[in-house]
Amino acid sequence: MINNETCDNHREVNTLDQMLIIENTLKKYQFLWDKEPIDYYPNLPSNTLGFIGELQNYSSEELIELENLNAKAKTPLLSELFKDLKDSLLRINQLKQEARINQNELRGLSLKKCHEIKRLIPILEELSPTLIHDIGSGKAPLSFLMAQRNLEMQFKCYDLDKTLQTSAIKKNQNNMALKRINFIHQTISSKSQLDLKDRELLFGLHACGDLSIDLIKILIKEGNDLFNIPCCFHKQTKQNLSGHQSLKLNKFALTLANRGQINITPKALSIRNEYKTYRYALQMIYFNKYQKLIMSLGNAHKSWYQLSFHDYVKKYDQDLFYLDNLNKSFYALKKTINDYLLIEVIRNPIGRLLEHYLLLDRVLYLEKNNFKVELIELFNNELSPKNIALKATKSI
Ligand SMILES: C[S@@+](CC[C@H](N)C(=O)[O-])C[C@H]1O[C@@H](n2cnc3c(N)ncnc32)[C@H](O)[C@@H]1O
């Protein structure tokens, strides 16, 4: 049983039922997440015409509020969609307690990292393990700060990147905490044997893709406690751990799951529209001439979007893909492009539901293996969007 509840009736729902609620909503709106909208060109994804018609009546400020799930929709189709979402999304408890840390000790760390560390320390101190196995620790800033505050605690910091570890050791040569931090250069997989003892915590902050799943497998094999904040869902190759996930998420859905908690701001919206407008225009003009989409455009430098459309295309291909009148064709397509851009406003909240679906699969799998599991919204999503922690403790 997970401590989340459905929206209005405040009753506890077991994890499997909750997973089915999410699954039904995902099935209803599959046309929004199982492909990129532009891949339907010259058509729009089926069933989206009504949504686009409604979205055209909202100001860009209102669209931002809708996308961030902060406002009520005032038109019928959107009201139904956002109600479905609200009723299906997990209600995840937030933890906002922060450790007080001297600013000097945080020198050199990004705002994001400082925020994560301040939120993590209280909860890890409350768990008070004797040793933390910090998996995918990188330069291990969290372990260093914890070690300075908790003079009894030991740390094993694992990472496949030796240079990060060497640089952390060099930087902390005179730091007494280093004595209790053991850097281990190792690629962790589900088969790794970590020799976990009682009261030792398996931990992974932003353990990418499969690594978070491997931590769960290691926990089931040999551990008691896990605290994990997963990230990079688009890199995960393993799904349906529980045997109850009947929808297999493809690469588009996993990428969308990754965007679920991103808070959109006016600036982020304008950058997103700038990027997508050029990419979509090129795809459309190419399709109109060759009746197929360009397979993969690859990465563009942000400065390319400041060029004229003609010069932007030139950056990809000196021969401009043998397309003519690019600037003129681009302006003729702007209204059509806008329809595709509007769909993003409703796709991103679906990403949040996809993320919850993937997390519930892990929760269910752990529960089937006799762990008590809790999901916690730990970070402010404006600072650190991959902000949901999974805490698992072996039931006695
Ligand atoms: C997103 S970074 C997180 C670093 C650190 N935990 C933090 O939040 O500051 C992920 C780290 O995991 C490491 N990593 C990824 N896969 C790994 C694996 N299978 N075994 C060990 N380390 C891994 C990477 O080298 C990288 O340093």
- Distance, CA of 39 to CA of 35 (rounded, Å): 7
| Residue 177 reports pLDDT greater than 70 | yes
Of the pLDDT bands very low, low, confident and very high (cuts 50, 70, 90), residue 263 is confident
Say how many Å lie between the CA of residue 130 and the centre of ligand 1. 22
**Nearest CA owner, ligand 1 atom 1:** 206
- Distance, CA of 385 to CA of 86 (rounded, Å): 19
Say how many Å lie between the CA of residue 229 and the centre of ligand 1. 12
Burial classification of residue 325, based on how many CB atoms lie within 10 Å of its CB (0-12 exposed, 13-18 middle, 19 or more buried): exposed
Atom nearest to 187 CA in ligand 1 = 20
Task: Tell me where in the chain the CATH 3.40.50.150 domain(s) lie.
Answer: 93-260+362-394
pLDDT in tens, 87-102: 999 999 999 999 999 9
- Classify domain 93-260+362-394 by CATH architecture: 3-Layer(aba) Sandwich (3.40)
0.85 exceeded by pTM: yes
What is the arithmetic mean of pLDDT over 170-179?
94
Determine the pLDDT at residue 3.
Answer: 47
Determine the pLDDT at residue 71.
Answer: 87
Per-residue b/e over 248-275, b at no fewer than 16 CB within 10 Å?
Answer: ebeebbbbbbbbbbbebeeeebeeeeee
Mutation test residue for ligand 1: of 164, 190, 206, 210, the one with most atoms within 8 Å of CB: 206
Say how many Å lie between the CA of residue 357 and the centre of ligand 1. 23
Determine the pLDDT at residue 4.
Answer: 43
Instruction: Please say whether the beta carbons of 3 and 12 come within 8 A.
Output: yes
- Distance, CA of 384 to CA of 180 (rounded, Å): 28
For ligand 1, residues with CB inside 6 Å are 136-138, 158-161, 164, 187-188, 205-206, 208, 211
Determine the pLDDT at residue 261.
Answer: 78
What is the arithmetic mean of pLDDT over 235-264?
94
Determine the pLDDT at residue 2.
Answer: 52
Of the pLDDT bands very low, low, confident and very high (cuts 50, 70, 90), residue 8 is very low
